[in-house]
Amino acid sequence: MLKVLYERDEPIGRGELAEKLRGGIHQDPEQSLTGVLGAFGRRINETDDIPGSPGTDAFIKRQQIDRETHYLLRPEAREAIGNVPALVRRFDEPWDKLLEPDSRIEAKNLVPNSD
């Protein structure tokens, strides 16, 4: 999800986002997207350094366009992702490799640039 949002400068509709993420692997991509967003929000809320419970709103802006929910990566999130070279390099990999079980990035490799 972060890869799709990071690579776009404009909002993406819920249906398009769901199809890009889950279309080939889930019967109901939009329902599956709800689960992806929920899991991401819970992970954000369980992060010690993030105060309160902002959920996905800490990273993603939601807005209604033509009566459909659209998503856009917040500028602060875009900057934070851009400062983690291991993550940005991972975004260049093909989708099928990103979805492999062993494709996790160890936390010690997610250290931001110190520039």
Q: What pLDDT, on a 0 to 100 scale, did the predictor assign at position 115?
A: 53
Extract long-range pairs of 60-63: CB within 8 Å, 24+ residues apart. Answer: 60/5, 61/11, 63/11
Rg (the chain; Cα; Å): 14
Q: What is the pLDDT of residues 17-75, one digit of tens each?
A: 988 887 666 677 788 888 889 999 998 899 888 889 999 999 999 999 999 999 999 99
DSSP code at position 13: E
Using the predicted structure, report yes or no on whether residue 78 has a pLDDT greater than 60: yes
Residue 70: closest CA among 26, 17, 20: 17
Residue 90 banded pLDDT, cuts 50, 70, 90: confident
CB-CB contact of 18 with 32 (8 Å): yes
Rounded CA gap, 23 and 19, in Å?
4
Q: What pLDDT, on a 0 to 100 scale, did the predictor assign at position 105?
A: 61
Name the pTM for this structure.
0.77
